[in-house]
Amino acid sequence: MTPKDDFEILRLIIDGTESQAILTGQLLHEAESQEMPFEFNDLVGYWRKGKLYTSQLKHTDGGYLPTKSCTWTTRYQKDYFGFNPELGAFEINSNIINPIRVDLDASMALESAAVCIAVHPSGREFAVGTLNGTIAVYNVDQGKASRTFRANQSRVWTLAYSPDGDLLISGHQNGELVKWDRNGILLAKAITCDWVRSISFSPDGTKFLTSHRVKKEETTPSIYHWDTLTFRIVETFIHVPRTVWCVRYLPNGKGFVSGGFDQKVTLWSFEKNDVAWSEKKHTGTVTTLVVHPYGGIVASGAWTGTVKLWDVETGSEVRTIEVQSARIYGLSISPSGRILASGGKESSITLLKLPECSVINRFAAHAGWVRGLQFIDEHTLVSVGSEGICKLWRLSQSLPFSISVQPYESSQEVLNEFRRPLDSDDE
């Protein structure tokens, strides 16, 4: 039976209840008493069209469907499920934890405490940098190390694969920058001023950025721009004083964003050859940054346990989330741009649904600090801990809001979604 065109009778019944929600059986009974004999399939039809929201779903061969014992409402309420036609996916509107299944797929011991991680563009392997200078490359399918190599005994602060996956660059505490080929053969070395804190490749892979520690009394550049082929510095940036913990290229290659000891998030424009905007809204050192895969939004994490999301165009703060009470060391956004993962000193990993930033899971991940994490694909997350363990996590593929997720078409579409008021669906 197809959904009836006249939805008004259902809306009046539901909105007339004290809580603006009503059980399936009661709703159908009330509709029948008003000589409008709806059936359960009619309710499901309206739910699919985004007119009704429900408190419970079950997984069937045909996908997710409401249960016959669930409660219905005509507007979003806490923990209710509904279909968003604009997104093309089911959404959960909630401000509390809505657990989803996250399974530990593999746990791998390292030679030393883990410090950083980088995922190969193919998604088939990832590299881990450790305290004793060792770099270990792990096969995702096999869940074990395929090769290890080391240029020195200095801590590996950061790792980055080139976009084509042919190169791996490591940055060390002694200031060394090392270029490796895919098999771990050392190709080149360069000495920088001090600790190499982060590395970020340009989208085309021809250049890369590095950020560094700068002592209080020094005025040396804190960000370097390198030519990948020659492994030489082509320009430097000193617009951000003191240590810069993190630097990230924008997906369009027109600039980069940085964060560090000065508690600022700063965006530099290559076109203007100047700072586009710089905001000091964090109250602690900015330790990590991640740019939305489709652009438009940048997320920053700080020592205070706070995550902030920024509008790339204007520098305005669009979201603030108190994720934990201690330092955040890792942020990653899933390839679809719909899930943000965060980890740090509290040893747990938090998963947030974007753009609302509602918590969809928080779980104990490591015995030590979570020193880094990255999505490998939409349902696979890798994390490394200071206790010397690397873990692969599999996210349940039965997330209602991850079904039929339509890809963004532009960074502007991402911005529009984040700029929309969170309570707009309640109007």
pTM score of the predicted model: 0.76
pLDDT at residue 361, as a whole number:
82
Q: Are 159 and 191 within 8 A, CB to CB?
A: no
- Write the DSSP string, 336-371: TS-EEEEEETTSEEEEEETTTTEEEEEEE--SS-EE
**Considering the domain boundaries, does residue 130 fall inside one?**
yes
SS3 44: helix
Structural domain contains residue 96:
no
The range of the structural domain enclosing residue 68 comes to: 8-85
Residue 92 lies in a domain: no
Q: What is the predicted pLDDT for the residue at 347?
A: 87
The bridge status of strand 71-73 relative to strand 80-84 is unpaired
Whole-number Å distance between alpha carbons of 237 and 260: 14
> Same structural domain for residues 73 and 154?
no
| Residue 409 resides in a domain | yes
DSSP 3-state percent helix, strand, coil across the chain (nearest 5): 10, 45, 45
Q: What SS3 string covers 285-299?
A: CEEEEEECCCCCEEE
Identify whether residues 76 and 153 lie together within a single domain.
Answer: no
Q: Is 408 left (phi over 0), alpha (psi -120 to 50) or beta?
A: beta
Residue-by-residue pLDDT tens, the chain, 427 positions = 344 467 888 999 999 998 889 999 999 999 888 888 889 999 988 887 788 888 877 756 555 678 888 889 988 776 677 765 544 445 544 433 445 678 899 899 888 899 999 999 999 999 999 999 999 999 998 888 999 999 999 999 999 999 999 999 999 999 999 999 989 999 999 999 889 999 999 999 999 999 998 876 667 788 999 999 999 999 998 766 678 999 999 999 999 999 999 999 999 999 988 999 999 999 999 999 999 999 999 999 999 999 999 999 999 999 998 887 789 999 999 998 989 999 999 888 999 888 888 778 888 899 889 999 999 998 899 999 999 999 999 987 555 544 445 678 899 999 998 887 764 433 2
Beta-bridge partners for 171? 158, 177
In a domain, 425, yes or no: no
For residue 198, count CB atoms less than 10 angstroms from its CB and return exposed for 0-12, middle for 13-18, buried for 19 or more. buried
CA distances to 33, 67, 213 from 41, rounded to whole Å, are 18, 11, 62
Distances (CA, A) of 85 to 51, 78, 106: 10, 19, 37
Q: Are residues 42 and 152 in the same domain?
A: no
158 and 32 within one domain: no
Contact 258, 242 (CB under 8 A): no
Whether residue 81 is found in the same domain as residue 137:
no
Backbone angles phi, psi at 338, to 5 degrees: -105, -15
Name the residue with tokens 């007119």: 51
**Overall number of domains in the chain:** 2
The model's pLDDT over 99-116, given as tens digits with 9 standing for 90+, comes to 567 889 989 988 889 999
Residue 107 lies in a domain: yes
Q: Which residue has the tokens 């029948």?
A: 32
Q: Is residue 95 assigned to a domain?
A: no
Same domain, 283 and 409: yes
Q: Examine the domain organization and report whether 237 and 352 are in the same domain.
A: yes
Query: Both 109 and 79 in a single domain?
Result: no
Which pLDDT does position 78 carry in this prediction?
61
The reply to whether 80 and 177 lie within a common domain is: no
Q: What is the pLDDT of residues 55-89, one digit of tens each?
A: 877 756 555 678 888 889 988 776 677 765 544 44
Final residue of a structural domain among 85, 114, 135: 85
Task: Output the domain CATH number for residue 138.
Answer: 2.130.10.10
> Left if phi > 0, otherwise alpha if psi is -120 to 50, otherwise beta: which for 203?
alpha
Residue where one domain finishes, among candidates 57, 85, 113: 85
Say if 1 falls within a structural domain.
no
| Token duo for residue 121 | 């563009």
Half-sphere CA count of 12, side-chain side, radius 13 A: 8
Q: Write the burial class of residue 380 (CB in 10 Å: 0-12 exposed, 13-18 middle, 19+ buried).
A: middle
CATH number at residue 81: 1.10.10
Same domain? For 234 and 319 the reply is yes
pLDDT at 2: 45
Are 51 and 189 in the same domain? no
Structure tokens at 326: 């201690």
Last residue of a domain, one of 51, 85, 119: 85
Residue 161 CA, distance from chain mean position = 18
Beta-carbon contacts of residue 2 (< 8 Å; ≥ 6 apart): 45
